Structure 1
Amino acid sequence: MTSVVTAGGISVTIRGAVVDESETVLDRLVSDGVPGSLTSGNANLWGPDAAPLAARRLGWLDLPETSRSLAGRLADPAAEARDAGLDRVVLLGAGGSALAADAMFRTLLRDPDGGASGGTELIVLDTSDPHEVSGVLAGDLDRTLVVVVGESAEAESLRRVFGRAFTEAGLGGAELARRFVVVAEEGSALARAALDAGHHLVHAETDVDSRFGALGARGVVAAALAGVDVTVLLDEASRLARALRQPYDNPALALGAALASSALGARDKLVIADHGSGLGGFAAWAEQLVGGAMGKDGKGLLPVVVESVDAPGFELADDLRRVILGRRPDEPGPGREAGVSVAGPLGAQFLLWEYAVAAASRVIGVDPFAEPGAVQSLESTAALLRSDEGAAPTVVRRPPELVAGAVEVHAPEGALRGAQTLTEVLDLVLEDVPDGGYLAVVAYLDRVGDAAAAGLRPLLAARGAKVRRRPAPVTFGWGPRSLHTVGQYHKGGPQNGAFLQVTGAVTDDVPIPGRPYSLGELQLAQAFGDLRVVRSLGRPAVRLHLRDRGEGLAQLAAALA
């Protein structure tokens, strides 16, 4: 059985048993009047406890229209940037807004070979890795415009780092001030600091957060300054918005029902594979939305982003629901067995998934806007940075349980159960995943220089299929990005995860002006702070520290081959 719901340029195809399951939930959403209530901004949809926060977080529903004013607000900084030849935009931020901007640029301006078309460039820095930051600093600062979004530890630290770099390059006064565009809520500490420094300030919406604000100022400004035509995205979203009030023929409601029916049943993992959608980076944005909004109170859906429909882990057990991005309903080939397929342009996709996740959260009974688990890790990191000894000594002094070449293995005493090789250690990590659970790999490394780390996910998924009676889903994320994205699910969702964290030696650290710690120490504090939280929840967690990053990653790949 197949159900296809099409409107506003979006097509959602639901197949097989998912049709009956989701139609039951869809009827419930319709009978509860959710389409009209949600589009009207009813903050009571998620219960009385969630209402106060929801009342301040529903502005994303209006962004397809309200964000049209951004073009005028960005006219001055955009003109100044063009006149000064600043066509290399560096975004300092975290969470959904950073991933949204990345998806916009990669979808609309990145050429097929991976380069930037039209001579523009957008670099998203949502990291504290000093190697990755040093690589960006070594680029052409004469062409660089920095956009600061939000007040995360990463954005604040990197704002200081870039300020010093520009000063050392001989910039000062008005010339230095115009190198920064700050996106912040009116009256916030960041907004006041931007005004004092003479930076361009773009006010962020007060009723939109980073997770649901893809089409708001937090998500749009950097992409627009890098040359993305935001009007195209808003037009795409507007066409879908007209269908969101409908009880049926509403693809967002249909997707929300499919997500909710999965989370209510045994299928609490959502495998996401792109199959020719052309939406570069979108799967990562959808991952942070689904995991962060729905993963709390022991409930939710774990998004598992895989490399393709042919990748290890796409085909697993029946506790998975598979979503294909980009497949046409009538298209033959691999992946047709996926429960849900979604096709449509980027601007509409943003709105589609935000609406669907908000509706699904109501059904499973969670507040989509709260982030209790993410706050736990941030507080744990802050506590380490406030310690007298500093974050780095706290972690490095702990002796490894095993050293194999360039790789140190850090685990609770007795957790390795006599393992003597990396292969044995990794097999134990896979074996320790509870039945029905998952393995989350988080790499606090350089996404560019250590890109090979992402290859651990398919290797571990393939290895797990051999060493486990029942293969477990394997996810991969970069730290500290994951703290602001699926980190909420790791702490707040069903407690059936196991964790493999990878950190690396720092050979060229970057001091943070005005702070008693460096980027490398901040990164290690973020890693260890998060590890401490998941271990406090009783979850199995192993940390692999690479004494030499390249050699260590090669060793891990060989151990899994």
Structure 2
Amino acid sequence: MNGPLNRTSFQLGRELQTRLEDRLIDWERAGKTTKLWNKDARLWTNSGEENWLGWLTLVEEQLEDLRPVQDAATLVCGSSFDQVVLLGMGGSSLCPDLWASTFPQQSNFPKLRVLDSIVPAQVVELESELQLEKTLFIVSSKSGNTIEARALMEYFFDRVQATAGPRNAGRQFIAITDPGTPLEEVARQRDFRRVYYGKPDVGGRFSALSSFGLVPAALMGLDIRRLLTMAQPMVHACRRERATENPGVVLGAIMAEAALSGRDKLTLVISPAIARLGAWLEQLIAESTGKDGKAIIPVDAEPLGDPDAYGTDRLFVYVRLASSPDPLQDRGIERLAAAGHPIVRIDVSEPLAITQEFFRWEVATSVAGAILGINPFDQPHVQLSKDETQRLLQYYQNQTHLPDYPPAVIENELKVFLHPSDRDFAEAASPHSMVGLLRAHLQRLKPGDYFALLAFLPSEASCDRLLQEIRRSIRDHYAVATTCGYGPRYLHSTGQAHKGGPNTGVFLLVTAEDAVDRNVPGCGCTFGTIKMAQALGDFQVLGNLGRRIVRVHLPAALQPGLERLVELVTQALS
């Protein structure tokens, strides 16, 4: 084993501390850690959970035979490839995105980039930065039929064929998928350079230490053996029967007991150097716990505020990179602790020790699921939006356009759309203007609710800044938690909690006209059409489930449109 165990401390307050102590006594007396490691489904709901626990032994299994993953490094080390681009979503993309943002480009290895969006502007921008003849593409999809990964594959395969020719194009592609999937078949037909396999008993959001995370790490030149051995101390610690000494059990019990006592907004504060860990944690927690009307709502990348900006529904977790801490975060957390907010502190010794946190949080999320009485390994509501998207795309194939929905208000090229179930709400809004509708919508926020921005926009710094302004102003005004997800990525992440969790979300879905667009070969439509079908599908499903949701549609001039939305929200709050 290499490296120390990442240190943990917590300051919970008397009530939550007592609940934690009682829970850990019960967990230990009932031998539940043994049940977890024995894959005993009765620990949860006894509905097939035993089929999804392969992640428990991944570290040791990978270390026993590193050859398949290390083979990936030989494909690119010293080769003509200067960039590797991963095409995937959710559990297939979030860990590689963390690698790419945390570690610098390694000597003699290409740069790793991740494309987990089909927003046309983002696809076009990435393509403009590539020399296609020097790019290796990874198509990563556990199911092998993820609509976004398939569309991106078809687009870039067509582009590479145009330069390399039909017979050679496949040599610039590899696939990561489970055995027997449609993607495996396509890879064989098109003569992809390699196919790497996931494990069927490891769900996508638990797959960071499988081929889905390790193959991209190898392709960018990271030391795979060291990544895995760095995780070993946490794996061993999470086997401890004494619950108080088991870091995964302790964290999971804190998460669950906090949620059961009303502190169900798990607010992540993460050192900037490893900030993308937050998106990975967001998917793991939201998709695992957001069901049966229950959820732990992860709050990632919300700007730190003063203690009085927060309600009593928060649990803060500060994941601090000990080798590169942020003094502003340190001071902010100290202020929150002094004000009595419950805080968990996790010190990550170095960037490679992120692998310990993968395992700790996987155990913790599984433990929290057991305490909450849910199955943390399924995602029953994700399919709802997928089905509605397919219905809308079929409509497009038949009618050559998506369904037209009349806006409630149009002002300065911005449009507001309401779900049909919100007619009474629309009639009550006064004045009947964009500001009036937004004000009435935001006034639906109550203590214990959360505000969610669902942005089908390019994930870029200019959008981030303005969306964060909206989050901060609403958080400070209503003292509610705020989340922000870029579409369609959030559909594979927090989307499950939005639909399967409690009806405590107030949603603002933002779409925009596309200034550029591209056809998807073999699809009969464009990236923009698929993106809009996904946005409209999620809007429809959330509304059908009785969620409080409004859609704002921006013009193609995105920056001024988004700036205008910020102004409208500010006016609505005044």
Residue 13 of structure 1 corresponds to 9
2:393·2:402 contact (CA, 8 Å) conserved in 1?
no
1:146 aligns with 2:137: yes
Residue 245 of structure 2 corresponds to 249
Q: Secondary structure of the equivalent of 1:394?
A: coil
93, 116, 135: which is aligned to 1:126?
116
Residue 22 of structure 1 corresponds to 20
Q: 1:68 to 1:419 in 2, by over 3 A?
A: farther
Residue 113 of structure 1 corresponds to none
91, 103, 114: which is aligned to 1:96?
91
Q: 1:156 to 1:252 in 2, by over 3 A?
A: same
Shift of 1:204: 1.2
Residue 179 of structure 2 corresponds to 186
Q: Secondary structure of the equivalent of 2:386?
A: helix
Identity of aligned residues (%): 29
2:456·2:487 contact (CA, 8 Å) conserved in 1?
yes
1:553 aligns with 2:562: yes
Report the residue type matching 1:555 in the other structure: R
CA distance in structure 2 between the partners assigned to 1:351 and 1:305 by the alignment: 19
Shift of 1:421: 5.2
Report the residue type matching 1:493 in the other structure: G
1:127·1:479 contact (CA, 8 Å) conserved in 2?
yes
Shift of 1:315: 4.0
CA distance in structure 2 between the partners assigned to 1:499 and 1:559 by the alignment: 16
Residue 431 of structure 1 corresponds to 443
Q: Secondary structure of the equivalent of 1:398?
A: coil
1:130·1:520 contact (CA, 8 Å) conserved in 2?
yes
1:461·1:472 contact (CA, 8 Å) conserved in 2?
no
Q: Secondary structure of the equivalent of 2:164?
A: coil
Q: Secondary structure of the equivalent of 1:558?
A: helix
Q: Secondary structure of the equivalent of 1:326?
A: strand
Residue 380 of structure 2 corresponds to 372
Report the residue type matching 1:403 in the other structure: I
262, 265, 268: which is aligned to 1:266?
262
CA distance in structure 1 between the partners assigned to 2:158 and 2:65 by the alignment: 29
Q: Which moved more, 1:120-129 or 1:200-209?
A: 120-129
1:297·1:493 contact (CA, 8 Å) conserved in 2?
yes
Report the residue type matching 2:114 in the other structure: V
User: What is the CA deviation profile of residues 500-554 of structure 1, one whole-angstrom value per residue up to 9, with x for unaligned ones?
Assistant: 0011111221111111221111000111111111100111111111112111111
CA distance in structure 1 between the partners assigned to 2:238 and 2:475 by the alignment: 41
Report the residue type matching 1:269 in the other structure: K
User: What is the CA deviation profile of residues 219-269 of structure 1, one whole-angstrom value per residue up to 9, with x for unaligned ones?
Assistant: 222232122222222111111111111123111111011011012221111
CA distance in structure 1 between the partners assigned to 2:41 and 2:94 by the alignment: 26
Residue 346 of structure 2 corresponds to 342
**Aligned pairs for 1:439-458 within 5 A:** 439-448=451-460, 451-453=462-464, 455-458=466-469
Residue 416 of structure 2 corresponds to 409
1:197 aligns with 2:187: no
Shift of 1:96: 2.3
Q: Secondary structure of the equivalent of 1:211?
A: helix
2:271·2:320 contact (CA, 8 Å) conserved in 1?
yes
145, 158, 170: which is aligned to 1:177?
170
When normalised by structure 1's length, the TM-score is: 0.90
2:305·2:332 contact (CA, 8 Å) conserved in 1?
no
Report the residue type matching 1:121 in the other structure: K
Residue 67 of structure 2 corresponds to 72
1:324·1:342 contact (CA, 8 Å) conserved in 2?
yes
Q: Secondary structure of the equivalent of 1:506?
A: coil
2:110·2:219 contact (CA, 8 Å) conserved in 1?
no
Report the residue type matching 1:191 in the other structure: E
Residue 4 of structure 1 corresponds to none
2:238·2:249 contact (CA, 8 Å) conserved in 1?
yes
Report the residue type matching 1:11 in the other structure: R
Q: Which moved more, 1:540-549 or 1:188-197?
A: 188-197
Shift of 1:170: 3.5
1:323·1:341 contact (CA, 8 Å) conserved in 2?
yes
Q: Secondary structure of the equivalent of 1:296?
A: coil
Q: Which moved more, 1:504-513 or 1:8-17?
A: 8-17
Report the residue type matching 2:103 in the other structure: L
Residue 515 of structure 1 corresponds to 523
Residue 485 of structure 2 corresponds to 477
- Number of aligned positions between the proteins: 538
CA distance in structure 1 between the partners assigned to 2:464 and 2:437 by the alignment: 17
Q: Which moved more, 1:523-532 or 1:401-410?
A: 401-410
User: What is the CA deviation profile of residues 374-432 of structure 1, one whole-angstrom value per residue up to 9, with x for unaligned ones?
Assistant: 1111111111112255698334x222222222421112445441345554443333212
Shift of 1:446: 1.0
Q: 1:138 to 1:457 in 2, by over 3 A?
A: same
2:100·2:113 contact (CA, 8 Å) conserved in 1?
no
Residue 160 of structure 1 corresponds to 154
2:266·2:298 contact (CA, 8 Å) conserved in 1?
yes
2:109·2:221 contact (CA, 8 Å) conserved in 1?
no
Q: Secondary structure of the equivalent of 2:311?
A: coil
Q: Secondary structure of the equivalent of 1:446?
A: coil
Q: 1:389 to 1:453 in 2, by over 3 A?
A: farther
204, 218, 224: which is aligned to 1:230?
224
Q: Secondary structure of the equivalent of 1:182?
A: strand
CA distance in structure 2 between the partners assigned to 1:367 and 1:513 by the alignment: 39
Higher share in helix: 2
Residue 351 of structure 1 corresponds to 359
Q: Secondary structure of the equivalent of 2:547?
A: coil
User: What is the CA deviation profile of residues 150-195 of structure 1, one whole-angstrom value per residue up to 9, with x for unaligned ones?
Assistant: 131100111101110101223432x311211101122222212212
271, 276, 282: which is aligned to 2:277?
282
1:422·1:556 contact (CA, 8 Å) conserved in 2?
no
Q: 1:453 to 1:13 in 2, by over 3 A?
A: same
Q: 1:131 to 1:327 in 2, by over 3 A?
A: closer
CA distance in structure 1 between the partners assigned to 2:301 and 2:308 by the alignment: 7
Q: 1:327 to 1:530 in 2, by over 3 A?
A: same
Report the residue type matching 2:201 in the other structure: D
CA distance in structure 2 between the partners assigned to 1:24 and 1:170 by the alignment: 64
Q: Secondary structure of the equivalent of 1:169?
A: helix
Q: Secondary structure of the equivalent of 2:402?
A: helix
210, 215, 232: which is aligned to 1:216?
210
Residue 297 of structure 1 corresponds to 292
Shift of 1:11: 1.7
Q: Secondary structure of the equivalent of 1:408?
A: strand
Report the residue type matching 1:85 in the other structure: S
Q: Secondary structure of the equivalent of 1:532?
A: helix
2:177·2:198 contact (CA, 8 Å) conserved in 1?
yes
Q: 1:158 to 1:29 in 2, by over 3 A?
A: same
Report the residue type matching 1:402 in the other structure: V
User: What is the CA deviation profile of residues 330-357 of structure 1, one whole-angstrom value per residue up to 9, with x for unaligned ones?
Assistant: x963213142112222010000000000
User: What is the CA deviation profile of residues 273-330 of structure 1, one whole-angstrom value per residue up to 9, with x for unaligned ones?
Assistant: 1246x3230011111111110110001211111345x34799411111111111779x
Q: 1:487 to 1:134 in 2, by over 3 A?
A: same
Shift of 1:137: 1.6
Shift of 1:69: 6.1
1:275·1:325 contact (CA, 8 Å) conserved in 2?
yes
1:260·1:363 contact (CA, 8 Å) conserved in 2?
yes
Where structure 1 has 5 or more consecutive residues not aligned to the other structure, the ranges are 1-6, 111-115
1:104·1:346 contact (CA, 8 Å) conserved in 2?
no
